[in-house]
Amino acid sequence: MRRDFTIEERTNNEMNQKRKSVFKHIYERQYLTKLPKLSEVTKDDEGLVQRLDLLKSLPIHEGCVNTICWNETGEYMLSGSDDQHLVITNGYDYKVKANYHTSHRANIFSAKFLPCTNDTQIVSCAGDGVILHTDLNRPQETYDSQLLCHAGTTTYEVITIPNDPFSFLSCGEDGTVRWFDLRSKSRVANTSLHKWRQIQILR
């Protein structure tokens, strides 16, 4: 005779299967197979979130940390803060690789490594609307490499393009999404642009 499972039993069975699946997909990551599946099985997994625990607290900023991203290998993380510093920290031994005081004059809201630059080039944006392109190999030369297209309003996010070290997108409180190409050094008619050329504005 077939036994009907209660809702609680079915839910527990589904969670157990999902946990086994999560472990399986994490294990298979070393073989670079089924990577999208890992994202699917961990998404909205309450059990996985509840098992997360604090591993380490890093006292590397003097203000609220608003943005964190990992490099392509997962070895280093980049953080930006209200203190206007960009900090690169080793994710294994927690040692600070670089602590760079930017020319931002407001809270840093987003910062990303540009792909294929060996983690030496960064784009960041802040509450003053300014976007910075920083080359850690030439910090003094790029200190004032500012993109002022969102100036006067908050810039919330910068997004890089996979495998493209030259282009990135930004979005701001002015309601625009802007696409930049760092290879173009020519100025455009809009005088709010400094050094780099904005190649597209989307509304």
Tokens representing 74 are: 């997962």
Length of the chain, please?
Answer: 203
Average pLDDT, the chain: 79
Q: How far apart are CA 94 and CA 126, in angstroms?
A: 25
Asked whether residue 33 carries a pLDDT value surpassing 60, the answer given is no
Tens of pLDDT, residue by residue over 97-122, are: 999 999 999 999 999 999 999 999 99
Tens of pLDDT, residue by residue over 149-160, are: 877 789 999 999
Q: Which of 169, 157, 71 is closest to 113 using CA atoms?
A: 71
How many helices and strands, by DSSP H and E, does the chain display? Answer: 3, 12
Tokens representing 143 are: 């200190």
pLDDT tier, 196 (very low <50, low <70, confident <90, very high otherwise): very low
Query: 3-state DSSP call for residue 161?
Result: strand
Per the CATH hierarchy, to which homologous superfamily does domain 65-202 belong?
A: YVTN repeat-like/Quinoprotein amine dehydrogenase (2.130.10.10)
Domains of the chain, residue spans: 7-50, 65-202
DSSP H or E stretch at residue 67: strand 65-70
